[in-house]
Amino acid sequence: MAAGVFTKGLCGFRQPRIVAAGYSCSGPLYATATAVKTLPLQTDSTAVTDKIQNLPLEMPDFFRLSELFSLKDLFDARVHLGHKKGCRHRLMEPYLFGSRLDQDIIDLDQTMEHLQSALNFTAHIAYRGGIILFVSRRRQFGHLVESTAGDCGEYAHTRYWQGGLLTNAPIQYGPGVRLPDLIVFLSTLNNVFQQHVGVRDAAKMNIPTVGVVDSNCNPSLVTYPVPGNDDTPAAMELYCRLFKMTINRAKDKRRQMELLQGLSPAGLTPGSS
């Protein structure tokens, strides 16, 4: 009897909790209503951001990157020099022009096209505020790559690659970390002449890659391979200079677009500098 009295009293106490639980359970019912309310307020800013984001996609070479390099520049920087015939990778054969005295020569016409598309892609990523990670395991050029990344405001990794960097990122860095949106390999091999782990990991994590592939590299997992020499200082300095200029151009363009759109919400003619 007494027990019954007690339970009733305590039930009365506890009832608001059930009601609250009921509300939390039916949360989704209210969410749609709020979403409907906020949409009309955002149309202006979203329309502007959509315009800023989609405008470069309408033109093939919005950032005019073809004027940054020419075939002669590539030749002078010795980009066409590959390794000896014995080091040749089977999958690199389509990119080779031929071989002279057993040294493979990379076809610079193909390199021009690939480099153009790779730089264009990088520019678009940088324009949209993506994180670009420069990777190279060559000790000779590590400092150069890090300085390039620091100058563009992007990120570099020219050190020992810890296994779970991309695949185990929330544990290694902390929850809520943002992974790179593009990885640029200035040399796809590591110090023991095997493919860099980052190529495979980026493919696993659906991160697009741009990579300078020499005649002893495997181009299959790289999204935008650029056949070229990765051993000569002249060639590496050329690549670093090109990537730095592309990224800076893209970021400046973005800032320009935002300023102009901010000043005049009315449209802008495409291709204006």
Partner 1 sequence: MAASGGRTVGSFLWKCGNCCFNFNTVSSNLTCQVLSRQLCVSAVLHRKNLAAAGPEKFSEEFIKKQVEEFNIGKRHLANMMGEDPETFTQGDIDRSIAYLFPSGLFDKKAKPLMKHPDEVFPKQRAVQWGADGRPFHFLFYTGKQSYYTLMHDTFTKALAVEKHQDRLRGKGLFTQDTKQISLVGSRWLLKEELEELLVETISEHDYARFIQLMERLLSLPYCSVEEDFVQRYRRQLEIQSSKQQVQPLQYDQHGVAYSTGDGRRKTATGTVLLRDSSSGSISINGTNYVHYFPVLQDREQLMFPLHFMGVLGRFDMQCSVSGGGHSSQAGALRLAISRAMLSFLSEGQVETMRQAGLLTPDPRIKERKKPGQEGARRKFTWKKR
CB of 104 to partner 1, least distance (A): 32
Tokens of 54: 């989609």
CB of 206 to partner 1, least distance (A): 17
CA distance 248 to 258: 15
CA distance 19 to 25: 10
Tokens of 72: 């002669």
Nearer to partner 1, 70 or 168 (CB): 168
- Provide the greatest CA pair distance for the chain: 105
Nearer to partner 1, 14 or 72 (CB): 14
Nearer to partner 1, 40 or 174 (CB): 174
Query: Of 79, 81, 58, which Cα lies nearest the Cα of 69?
Result: 79
CB of 4 to partner 1, least distance (A): 10
Query: Of 32, 112, 62, which Cα lies nearest the Cα of 272?
Result: 62
Nearer to partner 1, 104 or 154 (CB): 154
Tokens of 9: 């009293």
State the burial class of residue 171 (Cβ atoms within 10 Å of its Cβ: 0-12, 13-18, 19+): exposed
CB of 253 to partner 1, least distance (A): 18
Nearer to partner 1, 60 or 160 (CB): 160
The β-bridge relationship of strands 132-135 and 182-185 is parallel
CB of 158 to partner 1, least distance (A): 8
Q: Which residues bind partner 1 (CB under 8 A)?
A: 3, 6-7, 10-11, 14, 17-18, 21-22, 25-26, 28, 129, 131, 133, 143, 146-147, 149-150, 153-157, 159, 162, 165, 172-174, 176-178, 180
How many Cβ atoms are within 10 Å of 42's Cβ, its own excluded?
Answer: 10
CB of 143 to partner 1, least distance (A): 5
CA distance 240 to 236: 6
CB of 236 to partner 1, least distance (A): 15
CA distance 94 to 167: 32
CA distance 109 to 95: 9
Nearer to partner 1, 160 or 193 (CB): 160
Nearer to partner 1, 121 or 155 (CB): 155
